[in-house]
Structure 1
Amino acid sequence: MAGGRFAPGHLGELTQLVPFEMVDEALSATRAVQSRLRDLPSRVVIYLVLAACLFPEVGYPGVWRKLTGSLVGLPLATPTASALAQARRRVGSKPLRWLFDLLRGPAATPHGPQTHWRGLLVVALDGTTMTVPDTPAVLTRFTKQAGNHGGTGYPQIRLLALVACGTRTLIDAVFGPTTSGETTYAPRLLPSLRPGMILLADRNFAAQKLIAGIAATGSEVLVRLKNGRRMPVLARYQDGSYLSTLGPVRVRVVDCEITITTTAGKHAGLYRLATTLLDHHRHPADGLATLYHQRWEIETTYLELKSTILGGRVLRARTPEGVTQEIYALLVIYQLLRTAMADATSTRPGTDPDRASFSIAWQTARDQVILAAGVIADTVIDLAGTIGRHVLARLLPTRRPRVSPRIVKRAISKYQARGPRIDRTSYKATTSIEILAAASP
């Protein structure tokens, strides 16, 4: 442990991924170091804010008890809730943003079918909303959304992320009020795209200007279009795709019908995909249609953030600056967990990162904080660590094709709504893809 008043400043085994020196540099770079040594040094406050994202079910005094519970015999401070709040305000959000900017990026894993497609790193872009407290201060920046049922009871923020699909690590993220749409925030993520990536996106991002911006980064793109959107047919290819244009960008368009067969019956849907990969020999239409399914990995990322970590809870912070601080802390914690999982699976060549359980990693990380275990690394580098060993001991089975109805996860009322009963069963599924030929040029 660190000595003296710095002893409570740790994150259990995750401290090895965000060590004392890194936090000190974040504070120094953002000019958030305390002017005099306090009972709550700024470094300790950073770890407190990060640890709070591992324990969203308790208040900050409860988080303090988690950090200090195993530090028996040390002369530790017993700060009040007010003192902890003042310390968080003193530190602010800038050091947390600095840490996120340093830690974000795809995990360093070997190239393989789990993370790459035909040599391209598969990434996805999408957005979600998160709920924040309904306080006068928060409402000065974040608003409630209107809706058919009276709107949301709480203000919300819009979060957009760029995710590496194979490991579900965060490459970049932006957030702000819901008064701006996803396509307004998306251009702020484009500087994080690179040649050698292929970006998957849904119909909301098929705007001509945005696609042109993505193409200008050197990254490839595979985006779904609305089925009724008119696309000029400039040339046809043998795989059923055709050459077209999306604004100033030349694209290949793939029209296909995807059929899902389960014991409950069949369901078919039409998909229209556009890609900047123009060589139909190297990137055939059926492969692109199959690849697009990987876009759903980002939905799993949001599920892990909002359901596994937060448990559907409203964020704690009651001011706009506090909300910013908490969201960056949440993103840092998620990235640390995903990095630990990727490091663990990399010790077993050929292991798909999808088989690592996020819930197991999260619970083990919480245990290590309470035990104050593994804070400082041994002289021998252990990529797996305690978190990784628990993950590897209970790998999930190889993913099976399954379907489940897309429904609202958080009910408007705790009482069952009137109407037909929703089938919430997950079914084993068989998927078939038929490429539809384009009309003559």
Structure 2
Amino acid sequence: MKSYEVNFDGLVGPTHNYGGLSYGNVASQSNSQQSSNPKEAALQGLAKMKALMDMGFQQGVLAPQERPDVAALRRLGFSGTDAQVIERAAKEAMPLLVASCSASSMWVANAATVSPSADTADGRVHFTAANLNCKYHRSIEHPTTSRVLGAMFANQQHFAHHAALPAVAQFGDEGAANHTRFCREYGEAGVEFFVFGRSAFDNRFPAPQKYPARQTLEASQAVARLHGLRDEGVVYAQQNPDVIDQGVFHNDVIAVGNGEVLFYHEDAFLETDKMLAELQGKLAKVGGNFQSVCVPRSAVTVDDAVRSYLFNSQLLSRPDGSMLLIVPQECQANERVWTYLQSLTSSGGLIREVKVFDLKQSMQNGGGPACLRLRVALNETELAAVNPGVIMTAPLYGSLTAWVEKHYRDRLSETDLTDPQLLLECRTALDELTQILKLGAVYPFQIN
């Protein structure tokens, strides 16, 4: 039976704005308060989805969330009509209104952690929504995320869904941004690689001093238990706390893996040699041949990696076994990074081709190609059980492009977030989107 790695990309929401909400994310903070272009952002994301579909990759789409989140503002004490809640929040606590308007759910690498059926005890694909409790604006996402994923992967014979972990610091979980799976074939048993920034209960592990470590070891271990993973099919590794303090807020800013290959920066991890040996040994036991590509700091500094998002790329397998790297335009603009990539692809090694995409709107808010997609390994039977409305096709691309053109603004500033009309625009757009994607009622305004 054939198997695939399907990339489900996040559709950028109508309230895409530069709120500068993510402390530790250099790009997010650097562009705070600038005017954004939600329409351009959504169209850039859709263009990447269609391009990968046209290249023969399986591609899906994951819907955005309702914003502003008026229910979240009500829980914080704002009352009255929806318009009055927005007006009062704008007057009394503008940072909370900005947070409630965040379109950060576009970065669906943080939506959940996914384990394929070949790895799990019950032979189903398991999803655990990420609690994202390190940042308030992201911590409010997981209830809707769970409903959307449930509507996409509804067949209980093939799919299992778990609620987010407890929303406390000890179980901080940022989803697939800190999770990679290595395997010989997507449908075969593999090794799941969990990367954490700190331990909540074991002080033997060093912690960063400047920026928060968002993923805990305990959260990663809990997800592995929920998914029924075998000990011999799991490897845990710690991020280098020094690189977290340089802006590497998730592992997918400093490393990316696919198939049997890990592409990583020399300074990404602690105890790197031990980690590589464990990955190699465990993958060999299930028939795999683990390989790694280390980018030396002498060629690309951590600062270069953070500014270009070299590692926040998509590493994709070609039919001939070679690898394709999808990178943002910022990599081409960075002379050292681009020089390294030209050398890499011309060396005849594992990564043979680089394709560049313009994702400026997302990049300026702190998310690149890898942030925008959630990877789900599926066999043919499981793929057939996915809600067909969310699988990218040429007609769906046309419908979504027309939908964006109809509903999205081409400029959004902080002042615009105070306009109650924006909420009505968002709800109207999302109500239509659920019909296009055949999701049913997944948003609070559709349920309540």
Answer whether TM exceeds 0.5 for this pair: no
TM-score normalised by L of structure 1: 0.26
Q: Larger Cα Rg: Structure 1 or Structure 2? A: 1
